[in-house]
C-alpha cells in the first residue's frame, strides 16, 4: 500500500520494532560530519556518499562505495567511524514526538532494531534522554546489515511474535526494504521515508497514537 495523506489505522498489531537513527533520533548532523570526513580521506564526493549511508552498517556502506576494497579494510574503517560517531553527539536530538511515543510503549511489546552498535545506540539514545527498550538488536547481533531482514526477524523472535503481527518503524530505504522483506508492515517516519513505499507514512512521531486494546493487541492511529 502506498503512503497516503489521509488518516489511517493499522490494526491487529502485537509488537513494534523501532529503528533508531532518523526514526527516534535525529543524528543527521553528526552522520554527515563523519561520513564527509571519511569521504574526503578516500577522494569521494561527500554529497554522493551521504545519499547511501542511511540505514546500513558502516562496513556495508563502505562495500557499496568501494566495492573492490578488501572486507577487512572496511571492518577496520568502520571501527574508526563508530568511534567518531560515538564521541560526537553535537546536534543529536529526538525526532519530534519520540519521548511521548516511547513513554506510551513502556508496558507494550517493542524492540530497538538498529544498525548502530551497542555503544553508539546507548550514546545517542542517552543524548536525547530516551529510554532504551529492554529488547535490543544492534549491529553485534546480526550477520547481515539492512536491507537484509535478519535484524527485524530476530527482534520479532525475541519478543515472541510472528512477523505478520509486528510493525516496523523506519526512515531509510534499506530499513523499509528490510521490514517489508521480513513480512512486516512498515510505518515510514520523516521526509526520507515517503519515497520508499512503506505501508503507511507519518511526518514525525507527533502524528501517531498507539491504542492498547483489551486483548493485548494495538491499533496505530496515524495522521498526515
Distances (CA, A) of 197 to 55, 118, 186, 188: 16, 29, 9, 8
pLDDT bin (cut points 50, 70, 90) of residue 208 is: very high
77 with 121, same domain: the answer is no
Q: Is residue 1 part of a domain?
A: no
Q: Is residue 121 part of a domain?
A: yes
Q: Enumerate the β-bridge partners of residue 166.
A: 15
pLDDT bin (cut points 50, 70, 90) of residue 5 is: low
Q: List pLDDT tens digits, range 125-146.
A: 999 999 999 999 999 999 999 9
14 with 116, same domain: the answer is yes
CA distance 19 to 40: 28
15 with 54, same domain: the answer is no
Q: Is residue 67 part of a domain?
A: yes
42 with 98, same domain: the answer is no
Q: Enumerate the β-bridge partners of residue 152.
A: none
14 with 103, same domain: the answer is yes
Q: Is residue 2 part of a domain?
A: no
Q: Is residue 127 part of a domain?
A: yes
101 with 137, same domain: the answer is yes
Task: Specify the pTM.
Answer: 0.90
Kindly tell me if the per-residue pLDDT of 10 is higher than 80. yes
Kindly tell me if the per-residue pLDDT of 1 is higher than 50. no
- CA 5, 208, 91, 89: dihedral to nearest 10 degrees? -130
21 with 78, same domain: the answer is no
Q: Which of 87, 106, 126 finishes a domain? A: 87
- The dihedrals phi and psi of 99, each to the nearest 5 degrees, come to -60, -45
Which grid cell sits at 216?
493485548
- Conformation bin of residue 139: beta by default, left when phi > 0, alpha when psi is -120 to 50: alpha
43 with 136, same domain: the answer is no
- What residues make up the domain containing 60? 28-87
74 with 110, same domain: the answer is no
Straight-line distance from the first to the last Cα atom of the chain, in angstroms, rounded to the nearest whole number: 16
Q: List pLDDT tens digits, range 156-196.
A: 999 999 999 999 999 999 999 999 999 999 999 999 899 99
CA distance 195 to 52: 14
32 with 22, same domain: the answer is no
Kindly tell me if the per-residue pLDDT of 207 is higher than 60. yes
Q: Are 65 and 44 in contact (CB under 8 A)?
A: yes
134 with 215, same domain: the answer is yes
140 with 40, same domain: the answer is no
Where b means 16+ CB within 10 Å and e means fewer, 15-39 reads bbbbbbbbbbbbbbebbbebbbebb
The interaxial angle of helices 150-159 and 173-181, nearest 10 deg, is 60
Amino acid at each position: 500500500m502506498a503512503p497516503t495523506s489521509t488518516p489511517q489505522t493499522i490494526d491487529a498489531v502485537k509488537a513494534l520494532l523501532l529503528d533508531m537513527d532518523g526514526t527516534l533520533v535525529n543524528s543527521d548532523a553528526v552522520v554527515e560530519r563523519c561520513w564527509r570526513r571519511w569521504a574526503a580521506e578516500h577522494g569521494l564526493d561527500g554529497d554522493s556518499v551521504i545519499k547511501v549511508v542511511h540505514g546500513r552498517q558502516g562496513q556495508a556502506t563502505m562495500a557499496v562505495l568501494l566495492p573492490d576494497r578488501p572486507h577487512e579494510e572496511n571492518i577496520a574503517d568502520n571501527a574508526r567511524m563508530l568511534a567518531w560517531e560515538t564521541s560526537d553527539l553535537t546536534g543529536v536530538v529526538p525526532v519530534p514526538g519520540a519521548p511521548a511515543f516511547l513513554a506510551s510503549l513502556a508496558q507494550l511489546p517493542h524492540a530497538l532494531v538498529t544498525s548502530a552498535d551497542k555503544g553508539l545506540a546507548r550514546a545517542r539514545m542517552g543524548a536525547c534522554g530516551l529510554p532504551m527498550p529492554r529488547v535490543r538488536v544492534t549491529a553485534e547481533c546480526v550477520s547481515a546489515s539492512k536491507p537484509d531482514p535478519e535484524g527485524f526477524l530476530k527482534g520479532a523472535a525475541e519478543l515472541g511474535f510472528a512477523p505478520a503481527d509486528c510493525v516496523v518503524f523506519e526512515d531509510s530505504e534499506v530499513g523499509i526494504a528490510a521490514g517489508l522483506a521480513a513480512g512486516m508492515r512498515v510505518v515510514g517516519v520523516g521526509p526520507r521515508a515517503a519515497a520508499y513505499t512503506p505501508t503507511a507514512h507519518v511526518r514525525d512521531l507527533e502524528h501517531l497514537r498507539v491504542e492498547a486494546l483489551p486483548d493485548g493487541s494495538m491499533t496505530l492511529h496515524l495522521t498526515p
